[in-house]
Homo-oligomer: A and B are copies of this chain.
Amino acid sequence: MIPYKSIIQINKEKDTAIYLQLTSAFIGLIKDGTLISGAKLPSSRTLSQLLEIHRKTVLASYEELQLQGWITTVPQKGTFVSSKVPIIVQKDFLQNKKTTKSEKAGFSFYKNKHLIAHEEKVANSTIYINDGIPDTRLAPLKELAIIYRNVVVKKNTLQFINYGTAHGNKDLRKNIAKYLNETRGLKITKDNVLITRGSQMGIYLSAKLILKPEDIIVVGDTNYISADRTFLNHGASIKRIPVDNDGLCISSLKKLCSENTIKAIYITSHHHHPTTVTLSAERRIKILQLAEKYKFAILEDDYDYDFHYNHSPILPLASHDCNGNVIYLGSICKSVAPVFRVGYMIATKDVIDEAATRRKYMDRQGDALLEITFSKFIASGDLQRHTNKVLKIYKERRDFFCKRLKEEVSEFIKFEIPNGGMAVWVQLNKKYNWGDVSRISQKYKLVITDWKNYDPINSGHNGMRFGFASYTIEEIQNLVLQLKKTFLEVKKLK
């Protein structure tokens, strides 16, 4: 008889049930050929004594193995390894006696060369120069948690916790429509609203609807890199036009339209990403006219509409869109915290319905409870109040950041004070390059990683975005000091 006592290890401390451990052990012995077809297993009493476990446990294991087809019980004779287990299996598995998961896939799969993986952040005492993100320490977590809890315990919430619609919660759609009508001058109903999980989902879904391989989409020669990558990921052909102080250049757009079939244009009208310039009112009308004439879509990503410091923002193209050319994207995330993935896609009903159908096959639906929570947060005016509150704080931070930049490092950079948004567009003196700066800055616990993302065509504008909103005044002070030390050391290299 096989020395079961030595080769079967039962660990009573483990969470896995003993009869399952035993079952697993037997399967292993059968697969690796230790127990061959037709081999007789010990009686349950014998095995229970050998392994010092309950007889019932052995019986449960034998029952399990039999149900799975590994063994058969012959009345009056005993229990045997099943003859139907393929012998070839045993030999094969003798070769491949691996105990951990293979490192590499056993099949070939497609990698997309345009998409870039996520980079993990490292130490906590480091300052990460960011693209312009909110300060999560200001997020109204307690208020949201209270609303969420009240939503969850209400009796009539039950209807919302089953499978729901891919369009998003109906009340949130209504409240978003109302909120956008009031703040953006839109004229929409809930039928024009798809609740997304943030702007990126809106860009992705729009690309799905508008772009097939080699379809042309127009963007600025500097553009939001994730949008570029999303379009390339869909096989689109990207055509770039210059960006000046009033935004995208219309004459270049007109030329492109007359020479090509344009499917869409992607714009960040309120503050161009990355340069922060505002698309002028006049150019907005012209883009709308061209879209009507050439029947292309305008993908308007209004990612920071709510953050304007000097005056009310110019109304988005979506507010003047009589012909259904605009797909308007935005999110609540930037106003609250990136973890709350609630955004919206606004378009004519036919586009919204198709987008919802596509969305259904991506992730089925949003988070209905979170959507209801935000619906109440908006309807009560809390979102607006919160936005007003952080706006004041961000304005202070913008002012201080720009003041300090001017005072400390104006020898190395030039910039305009942005009238909105969470970042400054900083152009480095052309004597220097961001590669050197980012290499040396690490010494001063300053991490600058994304500069390459801002110049996809290598035009040499030497600009990048410096987010200021996520830092306190003290942190900004420290950031600028470390930046200055970095620049001074870079200067010595020359």
Question: Within 8 Å of chain B (Cβ to Cβ): is A323?
Answer: yes
Q: Mark A270-303, 1 if CB is under 8 A from B, else 0.
A: 0000000000111001100101100111000000
Residues of B with C-beta under 8 A to A118: 165-167, 356-357, 360
Is there contact, CB below 8 Å, between A233 and B361? yes
**Which of the residues B101, B116, B354 comes within 8 Å of A348, measured between beta carbons?**
B101
Residues of B with C-beta under 8 A to A166: 118
Known: A325-B106, A361-B204. A101 touches B187 (CB 8 A): yes
Question: Within 8 Å of chain B (Cβ to Cβ): is A350?
Answer: yes
**Which of the residues B68, B107, B142, B351 comes within 8 Å of A152, measured between beta carbons?**
B142
Residues of B with C-beta under 8 A to A357: 112, 115-118
Is there contact, CB below 8 Å, between A162 and B136? yes
Is there contact, CB below 8 Å, between A63 and B311? yes
**Which of the residues B107, B289, B369 comes within 8 Å of A295, measured between beta carbons?**
B107
Residues of B with C-beta under 8 A to A64: 311-312
Report how far A296 CA is from B106 CA in the complex, Å: 7
User: CB-nearest residue of chain B relative to A14?
Assistant: B182
Is there contact, CB below 8 Å, between A341 and B324? no
**Which of the residues B84, B107, B349 comes within 8 Å of A291, measured between beta carbons?**
B107
**Which of the residues B165, B229, B285 comes within 8 Å of A89, measured between beta carbons?**
B285
Is there contact, CB below 8 Å, between A187 and B100? yes
Report how far A197 CA is from B285 CA in the complex, Å: 40
User: CB-nearest residue of chain B relative to A115?
Assistant: B357
Is there contact, CB below 8 Å, between B324 and A105? yes
Report how far A354 CA is from B281 CA in the complex, Å: 42
Report how far A196 CA is from B362 CA in the complex, Å: 10
Question: Within 8 Å of chain B (Cβ to Cβ): is A367?
Answer: yes
- What would be 22 A-B contacts, judged by CB atoms less than 8 Å apart? A20-B185, A67-B310, A70-B281, A89-B289, A101-B324, A104-B348, A104-B350, A105-B347, A107-B263, A107-B325, A109-B209, A109-B210, A109-B354, A110-B208, A110-B210, A117-B360, A118-B356, A118-B357, A137-B158, A141-B157, A341-B364, A362-B362
Known: A96-B322, A101-B321, A117-B356; 13 extra A-B contacts, CB below 8 A, are A20-B312, A27-B315, A67-B311, A101-B187, A101-B192, A102-B324, A106-B292, A107-B263, A108-B295, A115-B360, A118-B356, A161-B338, A162-B338
